[in-house]
Structure 1
Amino acid sequence: MINEKSVSTEENDSCLKKRIGILGGTFNPIHMGHLIMAEEACKHHHLSKIIFIPAYIPPHKYVNDLAEAHHRHQMIKAAISGISKFEVSDLEIMREGKSYTIDTIQEILNHYGEDSEIFLIMGADSLNELELWKNIKKLSQLCHFVIANRPGFKTEASARLVEIIGSANISDMERLMIEIDPVDISSTNIRKRLNDGVEIKGLVPECVEAYIKEHGLYYCRDVKKA
């Protein structure tokens, strides 16, 4: 069950086809690149809302300094505060275990109804991993894939992915691809800077930086100038 405090359905859109964006990940921590990607996807595809969904445990990668799930959820909540079309859900956190996208999308569809259109937003680097995702063929039938790419950068699906999900879904993905000016920000780099005592001003919202310092996340040390 989706936490009603985190994800709400507006009363006045019950008769309209909802275009819902989903942005998942570890958000360890959330940074400006995530927010820019969400804003661009929302604008380009006229989404009614975007739901940020932090993973409890990412299934395809190991993160040795993963902040506790409730901290990552709270940082997202702070980062998107005041942005009316952005919401955060703790459904993967409440489910615990490894967070598989197919399970999440099915839960979202159950909550909002089959008349909803789901747009799964991801960076271009995720395209290389899609063929490894759980039930990727079924997932491609339940939602649209929105790939955020760098301008002028050619991104192609692997032959294996084409074979699995079909050329029609690949064409849909290519049609929905958005271009975003490169943002040289990564959660990995932010954590390293914090561990090294280097400031992260401008890489994350100020409220997120304050939260990290308040709770001593990522071995945060006294900050020195970069």
Structure 2
Amino acid sequence: MSGLVTRIGLLGGTFDPPHIGHIRIAQEARSALGLDEVLLVVANQPWQKVGSRSITSAEHRLAMVCAATEGIEGVHASSIEIDRGGDSYTIDTLEELSARNDGAELFLIVGADAAAGLETWRRFVDLAQYADLVVVNRSGTSRDIDTSTWPDRWRDGTGVRHLEIEPLQVSSSALRRGVSTGLVPPGFMSDSVLAYVREHHLYDGDSHE
């Protein structure tokens, strides 16, 4: 392996809870882009969701992602934002990972909705210094995103990849409601994650929306 550049994908999120859609994106990105690994980066305090709803503790969310990724080749949970503490900002994570993995190529994996709002992210113009952008689109949907404010390397397309996946009708909010009502849609949450949720009574009749 000497001399080979390590290629690392980052898929950040709240993962409250993690579901098969997250895993599919990670696996398909790893395969399509030839990544050595994809890190599911668990947000400590997601700034986008402050005040929107009650969020499960970072420790529980990390444990669920560890359970969801167990045994899946090249897909791993990352506690980097939890270990850092405070509000979680992608630019801080990219800077830290770049310093830890000298010479590695980083790939920031985001959904099309998140890509459309990148200008609201902290120091978003600096993101392209550290990573290529991977925009995940649902098959059959438009790729039209206003990139006029993006940093040059992303705006001209040289640092952007597009990944199309078949859509899954699953969301963390639907799974939270399912656990709360006892009607969890089958196949969308791994058995190990569901067992953890039930063992720790997560989402039982709460206000997670």
User: Structure 1 length as normaliser, TM-score?
Assistant: 0.85
Paired residues of 2:119 and 2:149 also in contact (CA < 8 A) = no
RMSD: 1.6
What is the CA-CA distance between 1:132 and the residue it aligns to? 0.5
Distance 2:88 2:2 in 1: 29
| Residue of 9, 13, 27 corresponding to 1:21 | 9
Note if 1:163 corresponds to 2:152. no
Aligned partner of 1:188 in structure 2 is: 173
> CA offsets per residue over residues 111-130 of structure 1, 9 Å max, x none?
110x1110011111111221
Letter in 1 for 2:162: M
Question: Structure 1: which 5+ runs fail to align?
Answer: 1-12, 222-226
Note if 1:45 corresponds to 2:33. yes
**Structure with the largest fraction of helix:** 1
- The aligned runs of 1:30-69 (5 Å cut-off) are 30-62=18-50, 63-69=52-58
| Residue of 94, 101, 110 corresponding to 1:112 | 101
Question: Structure 2: which 5+ runs fail to align?
Answer: none
- The aligned runs of 1:133-212 (5 Å cut-off) are 133-158=121-146, 161-166=147-152, 168-170=153-155, 171-172=157-158, 174=160, 176-212=161-197
Give aligned-pair identity as a percent.
35
> CA offsets per residue over residues 31-52 of structure 1, 9 Å max, x none?
0000000011001000001111
Distance 1:99 1:211 in 2: 24
Note if 1:83 corresponds to 2:83. no
> CA offsets per residue over residues 44-93 of structure 1, 9 Å max, x none?
00000111110011112234231111111111111111123112121111
Distance 1:130 1:14 in 2: 36
> CA offsets per residue over residues 119-169 of structure 1, 9 Å max, x none?
0111111112211011111102210111110122112222xx423413x41
Paired residues of 2:8 and 2:35 also in contact (CA < 8 A) = yes
Secondary structure, aligned partner of 2:16: coil
Letter in 1 for 2:6: K
Give structure 1 regions of 4+ aligned residues with deviation exceeding 2 angstroms. 161-164
Aligned residues: 204
Paired residues of 1:212 and 1:220 also in contact (CA < 8 A) = no
Paired residues of 2:111 and 2:136 also in contact (CA < 8 A) = yes
Secondary structure, aligned partner of 1:163: coil
Distance 1:169 1:92 in 2: 24
Paired residues of 1:197 and 1:220 also in contact (CA < 8 A) = no
Judged with a 3 Å threshold, the aligned counterparts in structure 2 of structure 1 residues 108 and 150 are, in CA distance, closer, same or farther, namely same
Letter in 2 for 1:22: L
Paired residues of 2:128 and 2:159 also in contact (CA < 8 A) = no
Distance 1:84 1:152 in 2: 29
**Structure with the largest fraction of strand:** 2
Paired residues of 1:130 and 1:136 also in contact (CA < 8 A) = yes
